[in-house]
Amino acid sequence: MEAEEFSLVRDMFRTFATRFRSGTADVEPAALAAAQKALDELGLAELRRTSPPAATAQECALLAEEHGKQPLGTSTLGTVLLAPELLRLLGDDAPAGVGATPTIALARDLRFATAGTTELVAWDCEGADSALSVAADGTVTSVELGASAPTIDLLRTVRSVPSDAPAKVVGRLDADQLSHWQAYALVMVTSELVGAAGAFVDLSVEYARERRQYGKEIGSFQAVQHILADATVLVAACTSATRYAAWSLDNETPAAALTAARVAKAEVNDSALEAIYSGMQVFGGIAQTWEHIAHLYLRKVRLGATILATSADLLAILAEPEAAR
C-alpha cells in the first residue's frame, strides 16, 4: 500500500475510534452493535485477505496500535486482522463452509493451543459467526460459538466453544506458515498493548498538567515527573521492540520473525503493564473508581499480558538453543 493511501486508511480508522470510543464499561448492546457495524463497513478485513495482501504486516500492526489507544468494544484483532490472515495462509485450502465473519479460538487460558489443549474459547468475537482454531501441529479447524465467557477485559467479547460441537477441519499450515501465523498473532496483540500503554501515559501527562495540589500543577513535582519519565521510557522500549517485530514479518524468514515477535511480547507483557501502573499512580484515587476510564486500560493490558503467551512462556522458549525451538 502506498504511504499516502495508508495514511488515509489510518486517518479513517482514527475517526472511527474517536467516534465510538467508550468512556465507561457499561456499553449498551445497541451502541456496541452500531460500532461493530461501522467497523465492518470500513472493509479493513480485506487488507490481509488476498495474496499478496493489500497492506503489510507493519501497516496492520499500526492499525492494531490505534485500536489500543481508545477504549473500544469492537472486534478488530480477532475478526479484522487475525482471522483474515489465517484464511490467507490457508489459501485455496480454506473451504466455503467457513463462516462469513470468523474470529480466532484459543485455549481456555487464552494462550496458543498446545498438543494437550481440549477446551477452547473464541476470543475478540463481537460480530463473529464462527472461530478458527490452530492446533500445535498446524491443523486449522472451524468451531461454533457458545455462550459468553467471563473476562476481566470488560470491552472485549469472549465466548465459549461448546465441547460437544462438531469441529470442521479447514486446512493445515506447514511449519513456515505456522511460524508466520504465531509471529503475526503475537505482533498484532502486542501492538494493541503498546497503543493502550502509550495512550494511557499520555492521558496521565495531561492530567499532571491540569491537576493542582498545594497551589501547583502536580506535574511540577519532581516525584511525579520521575514516574512519568520512567513510564515514557517503558513505552518507547515497547514500541521499538514491537515495530521491529512487525518489520521482521515483512522482511525476515518466518523463524526470525517469530523470534522477534516473542522478544517483543515478552518485553511488552512487563513494560506496558508497568507503564499503566505508573499512570494510575499519577491519577491517584480517581483511577480506582468505576466511572473513570483508567481501569479499562488496566484491564486490557493486564489481560493482554497473558494472551497467546506469558513472559514466562516466552523467556523459556527464547532461552533454548535456536535449533530446538
Pairing mode, strands 158-160 and 139-143: unpaired
* Whether domain 176-324 has CATH 1.20.140.10: yes
User: What pLDDT score does 25 carry?
Assistant: 85
Predicted confidence at residue 215, as pLDDT, reads 87
pLDDT in tens, 16-29: 999 999 988 888 88
Check if the beta carbon of residue 206 is closer than 8 Å to that of residue 198. no
Q: What is the pLDDT of residues 205-226, one digit of tens each?
A: 999 999 988 889 998 899 999 9
d(CA 270, CA 263): 11
Residue found by looking up cell 533454548 in the block: 320
Q: Is 91 exposed, middle or buried (0-12, 13-18, 19+ CB in 10 A)?
A: exposed
Q: Quick one: pLDDT at residue 93?
A: 52
Q: Where are the domains of the chain?
A: 3-173, 176-324
Count of Cβ atoms closer than 10 Å to residue 307 Cβ: 25
pLDDT band at residue 38 under the 50/70/90 scheme: very high
- pLDDT exceeds cutoff 60 at 184: yes
More confident residue, 21 or 92: 21
